[in-house]
Amino acid sequence: MDKSCKFNYLFNVTLCAIAIILAVTPANALPEQNINSVVKWAKTRPQLPTLRYNSEAHGYEGTKGKLYFYADVTSENGTVTKEGITMSGDSSLKFTTKNAKAVKLLQNIYNFNIANDFQKSRYITKVGRDQFYRGQKFAYIAAEVRDGSALLIIPLNKLQEFIDNAKYCQTNQCDI
């Protein structure tokens, strides 16, 4: 085979390999993606409820059993700014990096990479009830809520903004 044929062969093999990887890799809907992608993705996750738009909450939400899931968006067809999971009625599940049950739930909903990112994330600070963590891919805000535990997934580049907002809301009246 001459050099151009070898190159074309290797190029085509590489493209096929990438296509196969993309075809078998599960879709993940995370902050900074379009809400339409998130809604479609949620339909493929048996653990998640059907998401419906709630104009008062400025996002899509749903409850399935003890799990509440929501995605905040900039507009009804906009970009996801944060996603949240709240588990109620299970005192053994706390969204901490050391709680195996919480990490497993993240793995089941998202995938190993997100669960691992949360598990290996670094604790940054606590403001009020919110504990802030910095991962490699995303930032996380964990909180104990009435009868449960909640976790927000936010874009990594927005972590300081969320911390500053939480601090501001400690001394000022804020809409929640």
As a three-state string, the secondary structure of the chain is CCHHHHHHHHHHHHHHHHHHHHHHCCCCCCCCCEHHHHHHHHHCCCCCCCCEEECCCCEEEEEECCEEEEEEECCCCCEEEEEEEEEECCCCCCCCCCCHHHHHHHHHHCCHHHHHHHHCCEEEEEECCEEEEECCCEEEEEEEECCEEEEEEEEHHHHHHHHHHHHHHHHCCCCC
Mean pLDDT of 112-130: 96
Asked, for residue 7, whether it belongs to a domain, the answer is no
pTM: 0.81
Asked, for residue 65, whether it belongs to a domain, the answer is yes
Residue predicted with more confidence, 170 or 124: 124
Q: What total number of domains does the chain contain?
A: 1
Asked, for residue 19, whether it belongs to a domain, the answer is no
Asked, for residue 166, whether it belongs to a domain, the answer is yes
Asked, for residue 4, whether it belongs to a domain, the answer is no
pLDDT for res 92: 92
For residue 122, the enclosing domain spans 28-171
pLDDT for res 14: 43
